[in-house]
Amino acid sequence: MQLVTGALNGLFAIVSTVLMLTLLAWVSRRVMGAPVGWLRAGLVALASITGASAALTAGMRQAGWSRADGTLAVSPGVALVVIALAFAWAFVLGLCVLLVLELLVPTGSLPTPWRAWRGLRQRRRESQRYAQVVAIGVRHGLGGLLGRGARGPDGARLAGTDVSRLAARLRDTLSDAGVTFVKFGQVLSARRDLLPDTVTDALATLQSEVPPAPWSVVEPAVTGALGRPVGEVFARFDPVPIASASVGQVHAARLHDGREVVVKVQRPGAREQVEVDLAILARLARRLERDTAWGRGLGVVALADGFAASLREELDYTVEAENTRALRAVLAPTGADDDPRVTVPEVVDGPSGRTLLVLERLDGVPVGRADGALRHLDAGARARIADRLLRATLRQVLVAGTFHADLHPGNVLVTPDGEIGLLDMGSVGRLGEPERVALGALLLAIDGDDAIAATDALLELLDAPAGLDVRALEREVGTLVLRFRAGAGGAAGFVALTRLVTGSGIAVPPQVAAAFRTFAALEGTLRHLCPGYEMVGAMRREGEPLVAGAVTTEGLRRRATRQLAAFAPELERLPRRVTRIVSDLEQGRFTVAVRAFSDPGDRAFLTGLVQQVVSTLVAVAAVVAGALLLVADGGPALADDLPLFTVLGAALAFVGTVLAVRVLVFAFRGPPGHR
């Protein structure tokens, strides 16, 4: 029986201690007004209770208020006051400790033990991969680029190495680092606005040649994505892929209804490997931007973040399926005389999902390997095919606003009858109506040799900074317009335009930059189709009807009608309001009422500021009053050596210190709604 009673008493003590610690931790979080972690709040509460208990026991024995047998030598009321003050000040000291911890190591900056344990294997894998990538760079002679103060590929010499040799070393490093870094190099090769031509030309030769995964590895991935055996969905499935890329491979197949399709399946483990490589790329980018001047100049962190977002989209085939449907709708013929003969494959919805995409199979070969298919065509026929592709691209960008953003020669297919098909819709850009109108106005201004109109269109299209020298920008745009008018623009003209606006401090929205890069990449594809093709002249010829159709008098009238319809209720009330204003002016009753802080955010800011000022004043007053009472002589006493003023002073100082902690939390971390 005694054993059971002892066990129950022990259990009661444990439960009561846990409840007391939880309550104290909750009160600490509420008083702090900050998202303090439960673990650190509980540990600090435990330390506070333990320290207060030990100090209280020793202090009461030393003062003679408790006897050796544990009984009290003072009245219970006095003992209760002393105990309350002791634990209150232990609580205050715990708050101060929490405040210091939050300032030095904010909650969330360190992983929880469980999260740290789960991420240990991942971090070990990332660290090994990071060391491997850095070692590859050092082996290829890029160690100087990773040191503090390195100048980078800016056209000057770096540690005795010329830019062409540096570009080759960068290309070899990215090639050996794996498919994710190869794709990053391919993205960088399109950024001629940031990198010298020597570097971008070297990176453009990067090829993501990946050996296909064997069918024994791919079949479980296909079956898992379908949720049933392959034979239930496909009448035939070729286990040998017709194409292989970094994160997926493509197989030919036939549906049970007889349709020939291609199946794009994600490689097993591709997502995990890409995530590891993206984490390594982010670490490298942060290091380069922190330690090197060239990294800060290029904004490598922003480049890496944009690339990571794009690559993660490519890992979700539902995004590509949606993009494919959108482009198919854009390029669908709208009439008997409208046949762009640019085909986008149809998505087979049933079996398609996040890791598997089934598309209609298009006959033909990619433009990059179509020399044999195009050799029998004369120059006129090849120029008409190039015109067709350019017209379809302009239609996507200027009319529909949804466009294929990666029109390199591998993503454009030439069919045996001379038609064109588009592949790999993983990267699609979108432009709103204002951007499309401004881009069309820019093309019309270039065609009309109007530098002022071109500058106005650029300012409408982009985000101009305050204090921009518009006259200087007009002169530079005028020089570029002459280059375009002379037919010497092409990809170099778009690159020069991008460098011009970025050099002037103008921010280029991502989708606008994607449209510029689309035309820059398109030129290489067009010249594969038709050597010597002049893209700028063809853009003026093919784009003028599209732009003119978008800005016709009828179109402007319809747009104005829609806007006026939205304002119709206000227009109906306008005469009555004007009459009232005129009447008030005549009779001297016209007044203007201004509601200060009408915005909820402004009111919340002012309210919070007033609350903090009041809290600060109250905290200072309480601490000062408490200090005065603590040092005051005389007055009534609760017990021997325990004046009443001392108790009141300690209580006031406690209140003031708690308020001061809240004020300091606000000062260093901001109000709760702004963290």
User: 269 vs 255, 265, 275, 547, 567, CA distance in Å?
Assistant: 27, 12, 10, 46, 56
Using CA atoms of 285, 290, 293, 299 in order, give the dihedral in degrees to the nearest 10. 40
Query: Catalytic annotation on 641?
Result: no
Q: Single out the catalytic residue among 172, 193, 277, 406.
A: 406
Are 494 and 516 within 8 A, CB to CB?
A: yes
Find the distance separating the first CA and the last CA of the chain, reported in whole Å: 56
Helix spans in 395-509 (H): 433-447, 451-461, 470-485, 490-503
Tell me how far apart the alpha carbons of residues 477 and 121 are, in angstroms, rounded to a whole number: 54
| Bridge partner residues of 357 (DSSP) | 264
Q: What DSSP element (H or E) covers 311?
A: helix 300-314
Tell me how far apart the alpha carbons of residues 201 and 168 are, in angstroms, rounded to a whole number: 10
Using CA atoms of 53, 54, 59, 64 in order, give the dihedral in degrees to the nearest 10. 90
Instruction: Specify the DSSP class assigned to residue 109.
Output: S
Residue 638 has phi, psi (to 5 degrees) of -80, -30
Helix orientation angle between 270-291 and 179-189, rounded to the nearest 10 degrees:
50
The structure tokens listed for 261 are: 């399709």
Chain center to CA of 503: 24
Sign of CA dihedral 63, 69, 73, 78: positive
Helix orientation angle between 379-394 and 535-550, rounded to the nearest 10 degrees:
40
Chain center to CA of 176: 28
Using CA atoms of 123, 125, 126, 127 in order, give the dihedral in degrees to the nearest 10. 80
Positions marked catalytic: 406
